[in-house]
Amino acid sequence: MIDVTLPSRKDDDPDNVFLLGQVISMGIRWHHSAIHWFSVLALTVIGPGTAPIAGAETDDLVTGSASTQLSAEPIAEGAGQSELSDAMSRIRELETLVAALQAESLNRAPLTLPTWEEPRYQPPSQLDPSTHDGVYDSGWTWRPRDPEASPFELTAGLHNQFRYTGFARDEATSVDSAGNVREINNRNDFNINRGRLVFSGYAFDEDLRFYSNIDYSTVTSNPIQLLLGWISFRMSDRLSIHLGLGKLPGTWEWTETSRYTLGADRTMATTFFRPSITAGMWAKGKLTDDVSYHVLVGNGFNTLSLQASELDTQLAYSALSWWEPLEEFGRGFSDIENHPSLAIRLGQGLTQTGNSSSSNADPAAEQTVIRLSDGTRLIEPNAIAPGVTVNAFDIWLYSAHFGVKRRGFSFSSEVFLRWLRNIEGDNGTMLPSLFDHGFFVQGGAFVIPQTLELFARASQVNGEYGSGNEVSAGFNWHLFNQRSARFTFDVTSIDDSPAQQSRTGYVAGESGTLFRSQLWTFF
């Protein structure tokens, strides 16, 4: 019997009926040759033991030996011959029927069974489940493959300012306007002045951005703190709104990141006059294609480390605008971009706020960084008048700046004008207003394009309580022909510094020579 497996179809399918007939025909052709053999074999077994098998069709089976004997019981001769004759007749009828069926089947198309190619093994489809790719773009960036389907991007960056500071004093002490004797120390130390772990990117929409700057340092009272952080929304090319903790943009060198200063740090004049960091809201953008702006409304002149109970109810207002009439000036003060043609920047800034003390805070807590021109803190008892401690005042700060860049050469300058008005003592005494002014100038030139830059700078602060100045020179070595790794060395001569700030290295009242060498890396 032949086993043929057919494709699964409905029983009443005409193709099924045809295929079944073909299979039956195959079976009939096989039986046509087999019926004769099995029939003769059966008749031989049941026939007489001594009689040879008759019929032409059996000749091939009896040619072996005429004396073949079967052990069956003898059968009567007449009955045996009759039964044999009937059987042979039936065999011939069957052969005739089979031959007819075979002839009919030959008139049909030959049987062709469908064939199937053995399918190759296909592993189950494994879709890549990831939606983002990791790339380097000024930090390690986790960037979506499809921003519309996965609107989230995150960049993590590490900034580090490692510095050696040496200072050789001219005098061991100085005296401030309040009569306090200040000790001046020599220095010879290594520090991390600024370390920053920065996270930035966008979420939900490419125009909804975020920024977080976690600061670590070995020279500040808070070794780890949130320095800057905000959420911003880009309305258009002309306007972006920011909410969070940011800089009051009152002066140019202060607004520029400390990574892009010309020397090791910001100048002494900027350190003295600049505003600081506060929580608030601000806007940045362009008024025209070549006029940019940055305006802020916040809690105060310097409220980074203050709690809500230490804040007064007077807000700070600060703005900076600048004009670049020829081509884009670029970041910072060095012409590492090597501008082929002249780039000019002109700008100005204005900051105003009132300061007053609160019932559970130190007198005028917000203005603790405001100093007189000799470096005395404004709220120091007896600073302005004997027996009087300043308890409230208003501050107005105006700045104007100018900068040029071309073919590796750069020059920049900023002028500062500051008014302290409505000064009130703790006993209700109204004190006279104070006016201070100052400036810085600096210039640099690349002696090896985009690699080695020589620079020099100077700054000065003048006021009713004295004046101070600095002159500095040094070099910048950009290790990879870009800003991301810069080694700086400078030597600064200081005379009666009015500024004090732990990161920059200035100390109020000091005179002497300051040595700084540092490596700024950010990636």
Is the distance from CB of 388 to CB of 178 less than 8 angstroms?
Answer: no
Tell me what the mean pLDDT of segment 195-202 comes to.
Answer: 95
56: pLDDT confidence band, cut at 50, 70 and 90?
very low
Percent of all residues in the chain with a pLDDT value above 90, rounded to a whole number: 62
Q: Cβ–Cβ contacts within 10 Å for residue 154, how many?
A: 17
What is residue 8's predicted lDDT score, i.e. its pLDDT?
A: 44
> What DSSP assignment string belongs to 116-159?
-PPPPP-PPP------EEEEESSSEEEEESSTTTS-EEEEEEEE
What is residue 110's predicted lDDT score, i.e. its pLDDT?
A: 52
Where b means 16+ CB within 10 Å and e means fewer, 36-60 reads: beebbeebbeebbeeeebeeebbee
Q: What is the overall mean pLDDT for the chain?
A: 83
What is residue 62's predicted lDDT score, i.e. its pLDDT?
A: 35
What is residue 122's predicted lDDT score, i.e. its pLDDT?
A: 53
What is residue 35's predicted lDDT score, i.e. its pLDDT?
A: 47
What is residue 312's predicted lDDT score, i.e. its pLDDT?
A: 85
pLDDT at 5 over 60: no
How far is 171 from 95, CA to CA, in rounded Å? Answer: 137
Q: Token digits for 170?
A: 């001219």
The residues, any chain, with a CB within 8 Å of residue 366's CB and separated by 6 or more, are 300, 301, 302, 303, 306, 310, 311, 312, 355
How far is 413 from 401, CA to CA, in rounded Å? Answer: 6
pLDDT at 101 over 90: no
What is residue 81's predicted lDDT score, i.e. its pLDDT?
A: 64
Q: Name the region of 148 (left: φ>0; alpha: ψ -120 to 50; beta: rest).
A: alpha
What is residue 54's predicted lDDT score, i.e. its pLDDT?
A: 39
What is residue 139's predicted lDDT score, i.e. its pLDDT?
A: 86
What does residue 450 show for φ and ψ, rounded to 5 degrees? Answer: 60, 15
pLDDT top residue among 151 and 41:
151
What is residue 233's predicted lDDT score, i.e. its pLDDT?
A: 96
pLDDT at 75 over 50: no
Q: Token digits for 291?
A: 């006029």
Tell me what the mean pLDDT of segment 176-193 comes to.
Answer: 94
pLDDT at 375 over 70: yes
How far is 349 from 88, CA to CA, in rounded Å? Answer: 128
Could you identify the residue written with the tokens 């029927």?
97
126: pLDDT confidence band, cut at 50, 70 and 90?
low
The residues, any chain, with a CB within 8 Å of residue 23's CB and separated by 6 or more, are 2, 4, 111
pLDDT at 317 over 90: yes
pLDDT at 349 over 80: yes
117: pLDDT confidence band, cut at 50, 70 and 90?
low
pLDDT at 423 over 70: yes
1: pLDDT confidence band, cut at 50, 70 and 90?
very low
pLDDT at 441 over 80: yes
Percent of all residues in the chain with a pLDDT value above 70, rounded to a whole number: 77
What is residue 497's predicted lDDT score, i.e. its pLDDT?
A: 96
Nearest to 468 by CA among 251, 187, 249, 271: 271
Q: Token digits for 148?
A: 């519309």
> What DSSP assignment string belongs to 390-426?
EEEEEEEEEEEEEEEEETTEEEEEEEEEEEEEEEEET
What is residue 357's predicted lDDT score, i.e. its pLDDT?
A: 72
How far is 228 from 200, CA to CA, in rounded Å? Answer: 11
Tell me what the mean pLDDT of segment 307-321 comes to.
Answer: 90
pLDDT top residue among 270 and 11:
270
**What DSSP designation does 109 have?**
P
Mapping DSSP onto H, E and C, the string for 63-101 reads CCCCCCCCCCCCCCHHHHHHHHHHHHHHHHHHHHHHHHH
pLDDT at 342 over 90: yes
What is residue 230's predicted lDDT score, i.e. its pLDDT?
A: 96
Is the distance from CB of 184 to CB of 174 less than 8 angstroms?
Answer: yes
R_g (Cα) of the chain, nearest Å: 51
Tell me what the mean pLDDT of segment 239-264 comes to.
Answer: 95
Nearest to 278 by CA among 214, 353, 180: 353
pLDDT at 500 over 80: yes
Tell me what the mean pLDDT of segment 221-234 comes to.
Answer: 92
70: pLDDT confidence band, cut at 50, 70 and 90?
very low
85: pLDDT confidence band, cut at 50, 70 and 90?
confident
Q: Is 268 helix (H, G, I), strand (E, B) or coil?
A: helix
The residues, any chain, with a CB within 8 Å of residue 321's CB and separated by 6 or more, are 287, 291, 292, 293, 294, 347, 348, 349
What is residue 115's predicted lDDT score, i.e. its pLDDT?
A: 52
Q: Count Cα neighbours of 80 within 13 Å in the Cβ-side half-sphere.
A: 18
Where b means 16+ CB within 10 Å and e means fewer, 65-98 reads: eeeeeeeeeebeeeebeeebeebbeebeeebeeb
Tell me what the mean pLDDT of segment 83-104 comes to.
Answer: 73
Lowest mean pLDDT among 196-210, 215-229, 355-369, 388-402: 355-369
Tell me what the mean pLDDT of segment 448-461 comes to.
Answer: 97
pLDDT at 59 over 60: no
What is residue 106's predicted lDDT score, i.e. its pLDDT?
A: 60
How far is 354 from 220, CA to CA, in rounded Å? Answer: 27
40: pLDDT confidence band, cut at 50, 70 and 90?
very low
360: pLDDT confidence band, cut at 50, 70 and 90?
low
How far is 353 from 365, CA to CA, in rounded Å? Answer: 14
pLDDT top residue among 367 and 513:
513
What does residue 508 show for φ and ψ, rounded to 5 degrees? Answer: -60, 130
pLDDT top residue among 510 and 6:
510
Tell me what the mean pLDDT of segment 343-359 comes to.
Answer: 89
